[in-house]
Amino acid sequence: MMDSLLRRPIHTPSVASRVYGADAVIISPHEGMVRMLNPTATRIWQLADGSRSVDDIAAVLVEEYEVDQGQAQQAVTALLGELVDKGLIVWLDS
């Protein structure tokens, strides 16, 4: 489990995204899908740039949204899991 928190998520290269205010729009060409993310998911998407681990992203959420570390890690792990399943995020191994 600890190792998974150290992996770094990054956007899949074929995916295009744009952030408008607090919402992100993600275009997945291989699916022909457009997705909108809510403000919290958008922040996680922005932070998933390949330079931060799940722990790092959760720490930013703790600071910015005043949630506890456990809640933040759960939210980050759940969203990234969904985005990986949809082919929008891939993992870089440390």
Residue 9 CB: number of other CB atoms within 10 A? 25
Number of domains in the chain: 1
- Burial of 43-53, coded b for 16+ CB within 10 Å and e otherwise, reads bbbebbeeebb
- Placement of tokens 């744009």 in the chain: 18
Residue 93 lies in a domain: no
Residue 92 lies in a domain: no
For the chain, give the longest Cα–Cα distance.
36
CATH number, domain at 36? Answer: 3.90.930.60
pLDDT at 29 (0 to 100):
80
Residue 94 lies in a domain: no
Q: CA–CA separation, 51 vs 92, rounded Å?
A: 9
In tens, the pLDDT along 24-80 reads: 999 988 778 899 999 999 999 999 999 999 999 999 999 999 999 999 999 999 999
Residue 88 CB: number of other CB atoms within 10 A? 24
